[in-house]
Amino acid sequence: MKWKKQLPALFLAAVWMVSLLAGCSQEQAAGISLSVCVGSEPVTLDPIYAEESGDQTILVHLYENLMRVALDATGQNTVTYGIAKSVSQEANYDGTVTYTFKLRSAHWSDGKAVKADDFVYAWQRLADPASQSPYAELLSVVVGYDEARASGDMSLLQVTAKNDTTLEVVLSGNYDWFLSQVCTSPATVPLRQDVIQSLKEDAMAARDSGEDEDASWWSDPTKLVTNGAFTATAATADQMVLSSNADYYGTRSGPDELVFRYADTPEEASSLYEAGEVSAVWTLTEEQLALEAQDAEWTGIPELSTYTVLFNCNRLQDVQIRTALAQTIDRTALAEIAGVTASAAEGLVPPGVPEDDESDFRSATEPPLLDNSSEAYQERCQEAKTLLTQAGYDSGANLGQLEYLYVDEGVHAAVAEALCQMWHETLGLEISPRGVTEQELWTALRSGDYTIAATRVGAAGNDAECFLMQWTSSSPDNVVGYSNSAYDTLMSIIASASDGTARMGCLHDAEELLLTDSALSPLYYRRTDWQLRENLTGACRDARGWFVFANVVPRT
């Protein structure tokens, strides 16, 4: 109990120290322009919809959240204060937790003060079901979230401006990742309601006049009013130029100008880097990654997702059938088909998600939750046949024709063909793979109109709980229809846990139960990598995918 209560204090003390160091930054690298390439032309610069790493990278330079990601003195990512100059935490008698943020004296790029109401507006907009944001679930830990979404009354969400400089947020339990994941996300940055409304009216006028049929409020980045270290000063089809925000409260050690060059493929990005036109590039080409992978010491950067098979529990109600399907999957073979950046999954939570300050959640599971050895696979196949017989199917053929949905891009078709062949050869099942668009897949998943599907299961936060909370019976994101009261109880215990060690133990138990019930079956993880010129330092990449270049300086 005491350990958990001390944790926020220790975290906040560390944040204070990093902020103090930031205040003693190196002299501004005046006049320096840094060109980077981390994606294609933005799909959207609306924070609540931006899912591409490149879009999110631009946003974290334009907008600043309550907290922000930075490098510490050892070169490791840490979380420090952003617009918040302090934060306090109070446990309430009913099990809820109140966070109170005191905002610093900060200004928007038009000179107006950043106010607590700007966060209230942005967070209500994010949570509003009418927005249909893929990141709304980030705020599911806020008291009133379910009621607000059910009624459409966003005032029920307990995010309140006590005055212009005080923001209060009430959470439904102890969520260790709230400050480091929710309060640093591009989806929860503040927005000015008057600015958004004005830009929306301009966009509507442009559409009505035929001037720009695709106009959105963010279409012209140079018109955006932002509160981050940069503002957009030029934008073309090939690049966007960001310049230092004269109204930004802080001092930086990095470039005065950031140029985001666009590339549709890793090959195009690599060409820009090789030609010396950009100083940072993500992601590397398959050929570059293959060369990197030849080095036995290369680990790459784990992606915060797991390519996973989903079983519709409302259609495949018999757990024995689902388990037989899961047991027959040769993850090692599928990972080889997926390429050099893939590795066989050992659980749903991917590598890179922390167990604590020193260890990884995945590596903390010994032996691995999923055994991918050839010996274990043969044993599983025999168990799968027995399970199918016990379920009343001596041959899987009498289950009828089943369908496996997947997004038809990259290696997914080859993986789908191999997986369906495994099910056929071992269990006699007739399962037809069908490639669809991502929109078609998610339409099927949300409506429940599928039997088996495969998709990348990710999380909005770099914490094991973020991967597991969506499978509770009450979660709107539970597209597999999984329902187990024991699992729901575990997740409830996790949300109210006062002991960090006990919390982690319950998270491991919950993951094991989810996979034992075969609601889904992880296939493989992926690794990625990026390049920064050797003469530069100070860039960091968040585990969720975006980059921070605001403090890049020449290496000394």
Give pLDDT tens digits for 159-170: 999 999 999 999
**Does position 7 have pLDDT exceeding 50, yes or no?**
no
Locate the domains of the chain by residue range: 2-30+64-190, 301-528
Q: Who wins on pLDDT, 7 or 328?
A: 328
User: Same topology for domains 2-30+64-190 and 301-528, yes or no?
Assistant: no
Q: Who wins on pLDDT, 395 or 313?
A: 313
Question: Is 2-30+64-190 CATH 3.90.76.10?
Answer: yes
Side chain identity, residue 252: R
Task: Give the pLDDT score at 440.
Answer: 97
Task: Give the pLDDT score at 31.
Answer: 61
The 10s digit of each residue's pLDDT in 101-115 is: 999 999 999 999 999
Q: Is the dihedral of CA 391, 397, 398, 402 positive or negative?
A: positive
What is the Cα–Cα distance from 382 to 401, expressed in whole angstroms? 22
What is the Cα–Cα distance from 213 to 203, expressed in whole angstroms? 9
For residues 180-190, give the mean pLDDT.
97
**Does position 465 have pLDDT exceeding 90, yes or no?**
yes
Mean pLDDT of the chain, nearest integer: 91
Task: Give the pLDDT score at 211.
Answer: 87
Task: Give the pLDDT score at 27.
Answer: 37
Q: Check if the beta carbon of residue 72 is closer than 8 Å to that of residue 15.
A: no
pTM over 0.75, yes/no = yes
For residues 185-201, give the mean pLDDT.
97
Look at the block and give the residue holding tokens 């994941």: 181
Confidence label for 1 from pLDDT (cuts 50, 70 and 90):
very low
Tell me which architecture the domain covering 301-528 has in CATH.
Roll (3.10)
Task: Give the pLDDT score at 12.
Answer: 47
What is the Cα–Cα distance from 169 to 176, expressed in whole angstroms? 14
Task: Give the pLDDT score at 326.
Answer: 97
What is the Cα–Cα distance from 421 to 419, expressed in whole angstroms? 5
CA 50 to chain centre: 11
